[in-house]
Amino acid sequence: MASRTLSVLPISFSPGSTRGGTVRCSVPVHLNRRLADALSSPLFGCPVSLSSNSTPLLWRRSRPISTVFFMLPTANPERTSSSKIPKWSSRSIKSFSMGELEARKLKYPTTGTEALLMGILVEGTSLAAKFLRANGITLFKVREETVKLLGKSDLYFFSPEHPPLTEPAQRALDWAVDEKLKSGEDGEITTAHMLLGIWSEKDSAGHKIMASLGFDDEKAKELAKSADKEFELSYR
């Protein structure tokens, strides 16, 4: 004799003493009453009763597994193996990632200092981002100046997933690490260090854009004091 089974719904079948050897089905109350009526059709041939004994099915979603990196690209690979090198802050890591994304949005083949600058503003919660906005330097203005300076990319060009850093952008990141080490202070390398690294590259697009929007050495020194009291600027 074929058995009646439902593989998904939490419904139990039990032999009953009703006439004709019918089977009584027990359906949890959390299921819709229309479903109970449907199960009473001739297809199943059994009366249905609602019960509160069964518990609803719970679907558990597995947590996503993510990997967080605390080092940004460097021109000195030996640094990555040294325990004395301070780590980049989480906001700096996010700003770098947002910079790559901005470069891709503009369809640029590389991530330059202008993209790092936009990344800091996109992240938006860091001391450097707040300092820029307080001085009238916004993401919209930086993006507009970037297009004016570097032009628009080809409409049909697709940037790589991780556009490689330009030489000025790489030097800006290494400058930030060097200055943090020179300060002798504990703690992480922040977005303020990254921004000052961009400013240190005087021939870079990022420096030119910041200068055109009113950023100068006095503002750089003011930001340096906020980032680290013992921080001394050493521009090239």
- Residue-wise pLDDT tens digits, 129-175: 999 999 999 999 999 999 999 998 887 888 888 999 999 999 999 99
Residue 6 and residue 3: Cα distance in Å, rounded?
A: 10
> What average pLDDT does range 92-119 have in this prediction?
96
**182 against 117, higher pLDDT:** 117
pLDDT in tens, 208-233: 999 999 999 999 999 998 775 434 44
pTM as predicted: 0.66
**19 against 101, higher pLDDT:** 101
The amino acid that residue 164 corresponds to is P
The single residue listed with the structure tokens 């906005």 is 133
Q: How confident is the model at residue 128 (pLDDT cuts 50, 70, 90)?
A: very high
Residue 212 and residue 131: Cα distance in Å, rounded?
A: 16
13 close to 23: Cβ distance less than 8 angstroms:
yes
pLDDT in tens, 25-57: 555 545 455 555 655 555 555 554 545 554 444
Chain mean position to CA 143? 20
Residue 14 has pLDDT above 60, yes or no: no
**Polymer length in residues for the chain:** 236
Residue 54 buriedness (CB in 10 A; 0-12 / 13-18 / 19+): middle
Cα-Cα-Cα-Cα dihedral sign, residues 215, 219, 223, 228: positive
